[in-house]
Amino acid sequence: MSDSDEATAIQLIIDGTEVTGHAGQTILEIADSAGIYIPRLCWLENLTPFGACRVCVVRVNGRIHSACTLPATNGMVVENDTEELRGFRKNLIDMLFAEGNHFCMFCERSGACELQALAYRFGITAPTYPALFPHREIDATHPDILIDRNRCVLCARCIRASKESDGKGVFGFAGRGIQKHLIVSAEGGLAETNIDASDAAISACPTGTLLRKRTGFAVPVGERPFDRTPIGTEVESTTGPTPPHASTPTSTPAPAGKE
Amino acid sequence: MTTSTKRIAIEPLSRVEGHGKVTIHLDPDGRVVDAKLHIVEFRGFERFIQGRPYWELPVLVQRLCGICPVSHHLCAAKAVDIIAGRAQLTPTGEKMRRLMHYGQMLQSHALHFFHLSSPDLLFGFEAPRDKRTVTEVIRAHPDLAKRGVLLRKYGQEIILATAGKKVHGTGAIPGGINKNLRPEERDSLLHEIETILGWAESSVSLARDYTLEHLEQLAGFGAFPSNHVAIVGPDGEMDLYDGKLRAVDAEGRILADQLDPMDYLDYLAEEVRSWSYMKFPFLTEFGPERGWYRVGPLARLNVCTRIDTPRAETRRQEFQSHLGSVCNVTMAYHWARMVEMLHAAEKIEQLLRDPDLQSMDLVAPVSQPSRRSVAVLEAPRGTLLHHYEVNEHDQVTKANLIVSTTHNNEAMNRTVRRIAEDHLSGRKELTESLLNNVEVGIRAYDPCLSCATHALGQMPLHVALLDSSGATIDERSRG
């Protein structure tokens, strides 16, 4: 990407609203700066976009793309908050719950989990699909860090953060399809890697998969990140148009009985 | 009709928590030879928490129950305090947990007395089943019903303020608590405490008057002499949150005192019987025949030397002046329960006025972590014990939970048998009256059968009448 490209201002239309950015930005980045929330799970600021979760799917000039990976170009017409796309996203999130072992009722990331927060935002209060109840390994070997693969959604945020932010490469994937799973860079488990409890890789986890040991439940119910405001409001509260409809949360910020 | 004995089964039991079934065994002459309360659901909590990190336990294990999750939450928290090496709580940590616990005691005792048991007491054991419901109580005694609902609500508000949620909160964490009591929460709760104390006091009078008025009927109802077990403070005073175990016999003689929960395997054993998922605990020294005991409100009044709040202590003395220093009347559980509810309300008031609850010193520092821990507390229904072991990676390797209903297993079986003996006496069919009375007897203990087997759901009652060959000759179900 050349300097001149970055400087080039571009205009696109997202959900009927004209927004501006510059060449080199992705659709998701431009939407964010305009205060338009495109739901996402595997995307994390400052990490290379990965396009794994497909939660950020949008229609660009009629075709489906992941907004986190597609560079914006001048004149693009982007559909984001449509019934069809909301349906796709809701289904994807629903399937992630069915694929893993996500028991919010005793998970210490409840209220801070992006998967749970997306589910609440999309009004998923109970699973649609039968749970697969896969057998997933826990790695508790490290004195200060726990991996609970039951909750892994294969977003690769830890893999990218370990590599790009921590400069380490502690995490990776093995297996394919339904067998795909998170591995660490030592046969003896996490304890034999060079990971540190302060690594960005741990904070990068959107679910309760990577945990700092003995810190769970320290934040009381009501004060956790998503207790008061639904996921996405941090984007929507920035400057930009108020979202016209719909992907406004279908649940109140802290629904009764929320875990 | 054969010459063999008969079996009667009552199923399902209603207005108790969990699934249960009663069988009554008759000899050829129609005399009751045995009666059994079968707990037929199995949930396996102790198995599936293996491998989980220990700090999850207070939040995970409380899912055993929707009525007394706070008791499991706090008992597990006390156990993980020891594992984490943070057992010396800060004043704020301990007092916030105690406040949560007394709130739980208040709401659960109100629920049990008003919602679950008052229909039996107000309308009589023989009243038609349709009449003995909480909706009929609301219709016939609206003020009393309202008081019950609001007492429970107040307890739930205490739990909300301490645990973060009214059901299945997260307040207690290893070594303390994750929040203090905000001044506005305190003020809102204090605003109502005088009303709550007044209602709790009048509830004791209600239970007392009922018991004394019906004492002739109640004295022998499902009753028998038994040992009693509860935790007490260092001087033998009632302490529902923390203490050591004391056992007394049916005459009040102390069998054992200041037993350390950590050593429970030295003095408690659990017998397994093939026909129930619920085990039968007993004091090892006295064997299964003589070592079984009762727990819960009645046992706690029998076991403690005094109560350290004035109103409840006066009421304890009043209880004993009528029923003796040790009471074995099963139906006196209700009166004892209301004395405890008053005690809980008094404790709540004391704690709400304690400035330690506004301190930010929430969690104790680490001293000596441990791989094994045992904790006890007095849950609304009786003594609750949690035993955990963890590996070097902080994962649970073993768990044993002995809940109140399990402690009362033998006693509930004897209650059922006594009621069956009194009612059947030669008859070989199940009557509505027998079913009613069996339910009333079981309900005195406030059993939480789902908790006891670590099983899920409501508790319907099935009763079967069996002959000596084991064949069912009569059967009735409710649900």
User: Tell me, what's the ipTM?
Assistant: 0.89
pLDDT of residue B42: 61
- Residue B341 tokens read as 């509810």
The pLDDT tens digits for A15-31 are 999 999 999 999 999 99
B395: which chain A residues are within 8 Å (Cβ-Cβ)? 138, 140
Strand locations in B260-371 (E) = 268-271, 280-283, 293-294
Cis? peptide before B12, omega within 30° of 0? yes
Closest to B97 in 3D by CA, of B158, B56, B153: B158
Residue A211 has pLDDT above 50, yes or no: yes
CA distance A27 to A21: 9
Question: What is the signed CA dihedral for B181, B185, B186, B190, rounded to 10 degrees?
Answer: -150
B173: which chain A residues are within 8 Å (Cβ-Cβ)? 216-218
pLDDT of residue B301: 98
A216: which chain B residues are within 8 Å (Cβ-Cβ)? 53, 55-56, 173
A140: which chain B residues are within 8 Å (Cβ-Cβ)? 53, 393-395
The pLDDT tens digits for A148-201 are 999 999 999 999 999 999 999 999 999 999 999 999 999 999 999 999 999 999
Hunting for tokens 């991996």 — which residue is that? Answer: A147
Q: What's the Cα-to-Cα distance from B404 to each of B374, B409, B470, rounded to whole Å?
A: 15, 9, 30
Closest to B158 in 3D by CA, of B124, B126, B196, B127: B196
CA distance B372 to B197: 40
- Residue B245 tokens read as 């175990």
Query: Both ends of chain A: CA-CA distance in Å?
Result: 45
pLDDT of residue B15: 46
Judge whether B82 is closer than 8 Å to chain A, CB to CB.
no
Residues 6+ apart with CB under 8 A from B139: none
DSSP assignment of A131-177 equals P------EE--SSSEEEEGGG-----HHHHHHHHTSS---EEEES-G
C-beta neighbour count of B456 within 10 angstroms: 15
Local structure of residue A186 (DSSP, 8 states): S
C-beta neighbour count of B338 within 10 angstroms: 28
Chain B residue closest to A144 (CA)? B393
Question: What is the signed CA dihedral for B279, B283, B287, B289, rounded to 10 degrees?
Answer: -70
Interface of B with A in 27-46 (CB under 8 A): none
Instruction: Report the range of poorest mean pLDDT among A239-243, A249-253, B412-416.
Output: A249-253
CA distance B85 to B74: 16
Average pLDDT rounded to a whole number, residues A27-47: 97
Local structure of residue B116 (DSSP, 8 states): I
Chain A residue closest to B60 (CA)? A106
User: Could you tell me the domains of chain A?
Assistant: 3-81 (3.10.20.740), 90-212 (3.30.70.20)
Contact B472, B10 (CB under 8 A): no
Does B393 contact A108 at a Cβ distance shorter than 8 Å? no
Domain locations in chain B as residue ranges: 6-41+427-478, 89-167+179-223
Contact B421, B30 (CB under 8 A): no
CA distance A19 to B423: 83
Question: CA-based angle A210:A215:A217, to the nearest 5?
Answer: 100
Contact A179, A73 (CB under 8 A): no
pLDDT of residue B354: 98
CA distance B147 to B110: 9
Strand locations in B262-322 (E) = 268-271, 280-283, 293-294
Amino acid at site A166: D
DSSP three-state, residue A77: strand
Does A140 contact B168 at a Cβ distance shorter than 8 Å? no
Q: What's the Cα-to-Cα distance from B69 to each of B81, B132, B167, B326, B457, rounded to whole Å?
A: 18, 27, 7, 30, 14
pLDDT of residue B135: 86
Residues of chain B with pLDDT under 70: 1-20, 39-43, 446-460, 478-479
The pLDDT tens digits for B269-315 are 999 888 777 889 999 999 999 999 999 999 999 999 999 999 999 99
pLDDT of residue A7: 67
- Residue A188 tokens read as 């003896």
Left, alpha or beta for B149 (phi > 0: left; psi -120 to 50: alpha)?
alpha
Closest to B110 in 3D by CA, of B194, B206, B186, B188: B206
Residue A248 has pLDDT above 80, yes or no: no
